[in-house]
Amino acid sequence: MMLPTYDQHPLWRRYQPYFPVGMQCTPDTTPREEYWRWRDLDVHLDRSVPTRGGSDIKVVVLHGAGAYGRVMAPAAVLAQRYGYETVTPDLPGYGLTKVPWKRMTYPLWIDCVCDLIDAEIARDGKPIVLFGVSLGGLLAYQAAARSRHVIGLVATTLADPRETAVRKGFAKHALLGTAGLWLLDKLAAITDGLPLPMSYMSKMDRISNRPELSALVRSDRLGGGSWVPARFLRTLMTTPPAVEPEDFDRCPVLLAHPGVDRMTDIALSRRFFERLAAPKRMVVLDGASHMPTEHPGVDQLEAAVLQFMRGLDGRTAQVLS
């Protein structure tokens, strides 16, 4: 059976004009597609490798509930330019990674990322940095809390969905974020299989401050326009991390939160950030929305991540020498 490719699903190309020119895919920078067989699922991966030289560090890029791996290509384009290999999965149920309806849960995403890290370490031994955008930031933290192979964590948002304020902030309507999610939890045996549209459950209309880009995300059935089982939202809101932030000291953390984020209040990320025991830095991206594509915020993101990565490069060189 031939597995699908993004040549057959070209909607991702419509995102390109919204990204800064230096972050757009060209024939030379478009990631290479492959599939990873995992727990009888075919997980789609985008892989970008520097053409020459490069760092000993590999970056695993994680999308959130409004995107999929190929939409994260700008991060891969930049990483490749600076000599870093990237691997970007389509998490189960998103992009080109199909999963049986009954198996789609948020813990499955965490398991997928942790096992992908192990698979990449077995492949070439390169230390792993996780870079999570939107909900991918929390996912990166959840994976780093379990994996011993992560040497750095970068996130654009970090918030604890077990908190009422975070649930209200996530949901499109405040009542949905409180009573609605409470009902999903208490009536799980009845509601878990219900199909829910992400664009109506969350503030997907605020993922960008560019209305046309938000509309594109909401219409994309591979990402922000997808339907998920209620089980996925329930487990997203209730799954605790393996290590609470107050005890997390496994790797340095860079939080680069958009300064004009209308989807996730910066105060929610700041609260999580302040709880972290790890070495940490927080940067506010001026003028950037939840899906950061605007200047100067996107330039500040590039500079902050590059500084963070070069610091890890130095530490890795010392360990290897």
Cα(161)–Cα(159) distance, rounded to whole angstroms? Answer: 6
Pairing of strands 195-197, 253-258: unpaired
Q: What b/e string do you get for 193-208 counting C-beta neighbours within 10 Å, with b at 16 or more?
A: eeebebbebbbbbbbb
Amino acid at site 88: T
Cα(127)–Cα(237) distance, rounded to whole angstroms? Answer: 30
Phi, psi of 82 (to 5 degrees): -95, 10
Cα(167)–Cα(42) distance, rounded to whole angstroms? Answer: 31
Share of the chain above pLDDT 90, in %: 84
Amino acid at site 289: S
Amino acid at site 69: G
Q: Identify which of 142, 131, 143 has the alpha carbon closest to the alpha carbon of residue 63.
A: 131
Radius of gyration of the chain (CA): 18
- The tens digit of pLDDT for each residue in 45-85 reads 999 999 777 899 999 999 999 999 999 999 999 999 999 99
Q: Residue 93 pLDDT > 80, yes or no?
A: yes
Q: Identify which of 28, 62, 15, 20 has the alpha carbon closest to the alpha carbon of residue 43.
A: 62
pTM for the model stands at 0.95
Q: Residue 218 pLDDT > 50, yes or no?
A: yes
Amino acid at site 224: G
Q: Cis omega before residue 74 (within 30°)?
A: no
The residue that leads in pLDDT, 110 or 168, is 110
- The tens digit of pLDDT for each residue in 166-198 reads 888 887 776 566 666 767 777 888 889 999 999
CATH of 29-162+243-320, one of 3.40.50.2300, 3.30.530.20, 3.40.50.1820, 3.30.360.10: 3.40.50.1820
Domain regions of the chain by residue span = 29-162+243-320
